[in-house]
Structure 1
Amino acid sequence: MGSSNRLQAAFKPPKRELAPYLPPGSNPNPNRNLAGSSTAAGAAMAEGGVTAVVVEGAEEDEVLRDAGALSREDVLRRRLRRVRQLERLYRRKYWALMDELRVRHRDYYWVFGLSPVEEEGRGRGSDDGGMGLGLGFRKGKSNNNGGVEEKRCAFSGCKTKPMPLTSYCHSHILSDSKQTLYKPCSYVIRSSPQHGQVVCGKPILRATMPSLCHVHYQKIQRNISQALKRAGLHTPCSSRPAPKFNVLIAECVRQIQARRETLDATTDNIVQEANEKVDTKESHKL
Structure 2
Amino acid sequence: MILTLTLNPSLDRTIEVASLARGSVIRAGTAHLDPGGKGVNVCRALLANDIGSRAVVPYGGAEGQQLLDLLSVEGIDMIAVPVSGPTRSNVALAEPDGTITKINEPGTALSAEEVDAVAEAVLAAAHSADWVVASGSLPPGVPVDMYARLCRRFASAGLNVAIDTSGPALVSALASAPALVKPNREELAEATGSAPRTLGEALDAAGKLRALGADAVLASLGPDGAILVEDGRTWYGRCPVPEPRSTVGAGDAMLAGFLAAGAHGEAALAEALAWASAAVSLPGSRMPGPTDIRREGVRILQPDPTQPLMSGG
Same fold (TM over 0.5): no
Which TM-score band applies after superposition, normalised by the shorter structure? under 0.3
TM score, norm. by length of structure 1? 0.19
- Higher percent of residues as helix: 1
Does 1 or 2 have the higher relative contact order (CA < 8 Å, sep 6+)? 2
